[in-house]
Amino acid sequence: MRYNLFHQVHQGLRSLLYQTALEVQHTDFLQTDEAGQALELLQMVTKLFDRHAHTEDNYIFPLVKTYEPSVIDAFEQEHAKDRLLSMLLIESMKLYADADTGEQRREAGRMIQSAYNKFLVFNLEHMLKEEEVLNPIIWHYYSDDELHKVTGTIIQETPAALMQSFNECICNGLNNAEISQWLKTVEQQAPDEVFLQLCQTAEQELPAGRWRKVLNRMTEGGGCVSVI
């Protein structure tokens, strides 16, 4: 099986989209404290998707552009549409922040839901298209070793605070076997403090039962339990 550059981060972003969708649906926008939690998640969504598009534009699309420029042209246009949908969402959040009356809050809440649903649908389709269209081209021209190096560069270039937010989403978006494998790889390849931080993040994000299963899987081949 070939290395899928997109899998881990896209699973994390999908998880954030689903979690936020339910939070928005459960929010009574007349209650400003309830709305605060939803707005916090929505801000995280726009921030992480913006960074992710920046990463793809700078580190992944150039891999394909050399060989298939028209394909990348189409994906760059999708990123431009994504930016517009993100701006619509941010504008609706500003309307909510500026609302003075209950009716204005209710209307701004309705606009937030509408803008968010459009953003979610577009990005679910967009991410799947990237994996189904770009991966076969990437795999044709690059080895897995080269692609792992691209991932390494992306991790190095991502600011630490954003990396932490991505890692939290990824913990929520992967299955137990994938998380165990991820932690094992980080244990082998990264400094101890990076590995310990990631273990703490996984423990914090996962329900206790899932974290126990992840640890059990890691110890099957000799793992990190001693450092937890």
Binding residues for Fe ion (CB under 5 A): 56
Could you tell me the two tokens for 15?
């998880």
Instruction: Kindly state the smallest distance separating residue 72's Cβ from Fe ion, in Å.
Output: 11
Name the residue nearer to Fe ion (CB basis): 81 or 110. Answer: 81
CA terminus-to-terminus distance, the chain = 31
Among residues 84, 88, 23, which one has the least CA distance to residue 53? 84
Name the residue nearer to Fe ion (CB basis): 9 or 99. Answer: 9
Name the residue nearer to Fe ion (CB basis): 29 or 61. Answer: 61
Q: How many helices (H) and strands (E) does the chain have?
A: 11, 0
Phi then psi for 167, rounded to 5 degrees?
Answer: -65, -40
Could you tell me the two tokens for 173?
């978006």
Name the residue nearer to Fe ion (CB basis): 56 or 168. Answer: 56
Could you tell me the two tokens for 194?
């990076």
Instruction: Kindly state the smallest distance separating residue 53's Cβ from Fe ion, in Å.
Output: 5
Instruction: Kindly state the smallest distance separating residue 124's Cβ from Fe ion, in Å.
Output: 12
Question: How far apart are alpha carbons 132 and 124 in whole angstroms?
Answer: 12
Distances in whole angstroms, Cα of residue 211 to Cα of each of 121, 145, 170, 188? 30, 30, 14, 20
Measured from each CB, the residue nearest to Fe ion is 56
Contacts made by residues 182-191, CB under 8 angstroms, sequence distance 24+: 182/8, 183/214, 183/218, 183/223, 183/224, 184/218, 184/221, 184/223, 184/224, 187/223, 187/224
Name the residue nearer to Fe ion (CB basis): 52 or 105. Answer: 52
Name the residue nearer to Fe ion (CB basis): 60 or 224. Answer: 60
Instruction: Kindly state the smallest distance separating residue 55's Cβ from Fe ion, in Å.
Output: 9
**Sequence-distant (≥ 6) Cβ neighbours of residue 50 within 8 angstroms:** 83, 86
Instruction: Kindly state the smallest distance separating residue 10's Cβ from Fe ion, in Å.
Output: 9
Instruction: Kindly state the smallest distance separating residue 130's Cβ from Fe ion, in Å.
Output: 5
